[in-house]
Structure 1
Amino acid sequence: MRLFAIRDYRHLFGAQVIALFGTGLTTVALGLLAYDLAGPRAGIVLGTALTIKMVMYVLIAPVAAAYAGRLPRRTFLFLLDAVRGAVVLALPLVTEVWHIYILIGLLQAASAAFTPTFQAVIPDIVTDESAYTRALSASQVAYTMESLLSPVLAAVALTLMSFNWLFLGTSAGFLISALLVLSTRIPDAPPSTGTKAWDTAAAGIVTFIRTPQLRGIMALNLVVAAAGSIVVVNTVNYVRDVLGGSQSDVAWMLAASGTGTLLAALALPRVLDRIDARTVMMTGAGVLVGGTASAVTLTAAGLTTWTGTATTWALIGIGMALIITPTGKVLRASVGRNAIPETFAAQFSLSHLAWLITYPVAGWLGTNAGLPLTWSVLAILAATGTLTALRLWPSHDGHGQGPVSRTATPARHAPGKDRSTLARAA
């Protein structure tokens, strides 16, 4: 079965891509808005806004994943897109920093509920097993492409207009996404089996605690967040204040990191056919430790060059891809089939919890104590996460390939649950 011959999937995938790029453009514009309102203290504003985002994802996403099959899904997705469009439209009108925090809270609450609900729909529309696998791959490609192309599109747009127009464009994108959702025939989910939402969310956390390779992934989440926060939070101030760049230059520097991510993601499928996932992910952790050390050197030694910064940002992007891309494979290989939904939901929350730790460090400490000290702290966190992962995930305890781990937590759900449950948390 040809995947994109399925009309409803084609429309939903289009909605996902448009919403993803809207979110990516909003992130770039938000950093520039923070700089416009707060100047040198933009790091605090952006760090706080992104911390609010992580709080929403950690608290709301697991509940949304558990309840995704109990809602009128087409109406719910439409309303979430409408809320996001309205919030983004209001962002360029703000005049006070606290306005940003309220609007970002609303925007990210809607996004945190949208993702698990959207993915719960896919297996009900794409019923062929091979086509469903391709749908999951297409979704991952969309996320990867967004990380590269959103900053590039923003950079091009900013050569022609002010950043406020990016908000208007992304609001229109969310509206188009909402209309595409309405144009699909999304069936309501089958009646609930009675499993409590919090039981499902908690079971995934227990699985992580009991499984060596998943404990290792928890530590690697911290490595990714520590290095990634340098790029996401500090790029705008570093490019504008240290390198003396423009709004467009900020977007291009973010694109340098996205380029590294994309190149690594494209090369990894063949690599993972020959090298176990643990080796690849630990290599990625080493790359990120090197990237954060390079960032510290740039500031501490005064080596503030465009080439050096772009190279470091690309290195961080490569390291992030080496860890993030194989994660799903390790999760699937580490637990029984019926425990996969709760495990993916737990990883979603735990990975965002790591960012909840590092975003405030990058934003608040970066503004008050300076970038050299802040990036040194983040480099120490990355190194600590790497060493912890090596200790928690011994090389003989499963590599994310092959049969289910002997240490995996037994499935907690009835055998009759189908793969639609997986998509709620994936």
Structure 2
Amino acid sequence: MLSPLADRTYRHLFAAQVLSLLGTGLLTVALGLLAFDLAGADAGAVLGTALAIKMVAYVGIAPVAGAFVHLLPRRTLLVLLDLVRAAIALALPWVGEIWQVYLLIGLLQSCSAAFTPTFQATIPDVLIDEAEYTKALSLSRLAYDMEALTSPVLAAALLSVIGYHWLFAGTVLGFATSAALVASVLLPSPKPPVHDEGAWSRTTRGARIYLATPRLRGLLALNLAVAAAGAMVIVNTVVLVRGTLGLGDAHLAWTLAAYGFGSMIAALSVPRLLERITDRAVMLTGATVLAGGLALGPAAASAWATLLALWVVLGFGNGLVLTPTGRLLRRSAEAGDRPALFAAQFALSHACWLLTYPLAGWLGAAAGMASTFAVLALLGALGAMLAWRLWPARDEAPSEHVHLDLPADHPHLAGAERLPAGGFRHAHPPLADGLHRSVSVG
């Protein structure tokens, strides 16, 4: 599991990711306290609006950023975005109006919408070996889960000795240190394929490749299943624990930790599972677990012990789907197209969350938890069934084809057979990127 850390470049990038995540976690706590200072009883509405701004930025900005990130070297771009995020976090403690919070959060999340897909697209260019990249994906999943567990604890410890405004300093430090770590290594910056495209075509390029690729159409449906279960956990855990069961804050923390624990078990298991079975089988199993777990929700939520067990199961299903995602994106396009493709995944997956977040909240308030579990279970089952249909197993079989317009030294042609009549023949699972617009089959 830890062998990718032997690579110095990846080691620095992973440390940058961990510190950036910790900074973001502290920001989440500090922002809630700032909202309460500014809005009092209306703090929930302020945070809800800030969350909506975040999702809109993710959905709207990521594809645009993915189309133009190649204009700067990746290292320069990532460092600049980290420094801008640090500057915005530094400004947040000084705001005195709610609209200023919205403005700064919009700017910060716009930077994150450009940073995160670019960062994710860089890792497969650093770790060329697929087995090492798979382990790196598991490490990344563990980092996200550990942040969810440790950031609130760290924030609570800091708040016992300092005011909440100082938590923003921790966020600044996290982003600044991330920038320093990224700046300390050399990063590949593959250029996208040269095409005569306008700004709109470049902006939608990642989405077009995404939606033309069967495995990625299946991934979009899987994102819906993940968002259905995740929204239930994130939005309604506090309602179930504090309201339905009448338990305290400590029980709430342990319940959320159970979800993270289940995801961590999956992240640790996935590399070995993928040595034996396909990505499709692992991810469809995860979606089935999510839909089935949600269906059992009304019965499991009647006692804390069974709710804990259910949250572990949902976390496990979440990890089975999300951990291999980078492998699908990596094998669906050449290096130059990956930033646009990762940006498309970032935007489309958050569009699913933009649907399920309010659905989980409004249904819970209007119809009760049993109905909310049932509707989200149906949504999760729909995602799993659509993924099964949109991503047929046969579409992963290598397809033999001929490239007529690529130079002999092109990396994609490694091991290809040169044909006497011209062109190169090889086989691999279907791709829908720019290299495969003018291939002939056979």
Give TM class, smaller chain.
0.7 to 0.9
Determine the C-alpha separation between the residues in 1 that align with 2:389 and 2:54.
31
In 2, the alpha carbon distance for the partners of 1:74 and 1:277 equals: 30
- Residues 98-154 of structure 1, C-alpha deviation per residue, up to 9 Å, x if partnerless? 555433322211111112444566688x5x845x974x4565244312232123323
Alignment of 1:23-422 (within 5 A): 23-27=24-28, 46-71=47-72, 73-89=74-90, 100-119=101-120, 126=126, 129-130=128-129, 134=132, 136-137=133-134, 139-157=136-154, 160-162=157-159, 164=164, 166-184=167-185, 193=194, 196=197, 198-245=200-247, 247=249, 249-298=251-300, 303=302, 305-333=303-331, 342-367=340-365, 369-398=367-396, 404-406=428-430, 408-409=431-432, 411-412=434-435
| Alpha-carbon offset, residue 374 of structure 1 | 3.4
* 3-state SS, counterpart of residue 234 of structure 1: helix
Larger deviation: 19-28 or 40-49? 40-49
Q: 1:353-396: CA deviations, max 9, x gaps?
A: 21121122224444455444434332221122222223333344
Counterpart secondary structure, 1:160: helix
Q: Is the 8 A contact 1:285 1:323 kept in 2?
A: yes
Amino acid at match of 1:409: A
Question: Given the superposition, is the C-alpha separation of residues 146 and 59 from structure 1 closer, same or farther in structure 2, using an over 3 Å criterion?
Answer: same
Q: Which amino acid aligns with 1:213?
A: R
Change (3 A) 1:223 1:157: same
| Secondary structure of the corresponding residue to residue 409 of structure 1 | coil
Q: 1:38 to 1:281 in 2, by over 3 A?
A: farther
User: d(CA) in 1 for partners of 2:4 and 2:309?
Assistant: 38
In the TM superposition, residue 38 of structure 1 has moved relative to its aligned partner by: 8.0
CA distance in 2, matches of 1:143, 1:247: 28
Structure (1 or 2) with the larger CA radius of gyration: 2
Deviation at 1:242, TM superposition (A): 4.0
Matches of 1:339 and 1:182, distance apart in 2: 23
What CA distance in whole angstroms lies between the structure 2 residues aligned with 1:331 and 1:401? Answer: 18
Measured at CA, do residues 195 and 6 of structure 1 come closer, stay the same or move farther in structure 2, by a change above 3 Å?
farther
The 1:248/1:147 distance shift into structure 2, 3 A limit, reads farther
Structure 1 position 346, deviation (Å): 2.5
TM-aligned CA distance change 1:333 to 1:70, over 3 Å: closer
Aligned residues of 1:50 and 1:359 also touching (Cα < 8 A): no
TM-score (norm 2): 0.75
Amino acid at match of 2:208: V
Aligned counterparts of 1:31 and 1:379: Cα–Cα separation in 2: 30
- Further displaced range: 329-338 or 206-215: 329-338
What are the ranges of 5 or more consecutive residues in structure 1 without an aligned counterpart? Answer: 416-426
Alignment partner, residue 423 of structure 1: none
In structure 1, C-alpha distance between the alignment counterparts of 2:342 and 2:398, rounded to whole Å = 14
Aligned residues: percent identity? 50
Q: 1:424 corresponds to which residue?
A: none
**In the superposition, relative to structure 1, how do residues 413 and 285 fare at CA in structure 2: closer, same or farther (>3 Å)?**
closer
TM-score by length of 1: 0.77
Aligned mates of 1:311, 1:392 — CA distance in 2? 31
Compute the RMSD of aligned alpha carbons. 4.1
Does the CA contact (< 8 Å) of 1:20 and 1:143 recur in 2?
no
- Structure 2, unmatched stretches of 5+, are 401-426
Report the CA distance shift for 1:147/1:328 in structure 2 as closer, same or farther (over 3 A): closer
Quote the residue 2:421 is aligned against: none
The number of aligned residues is 405
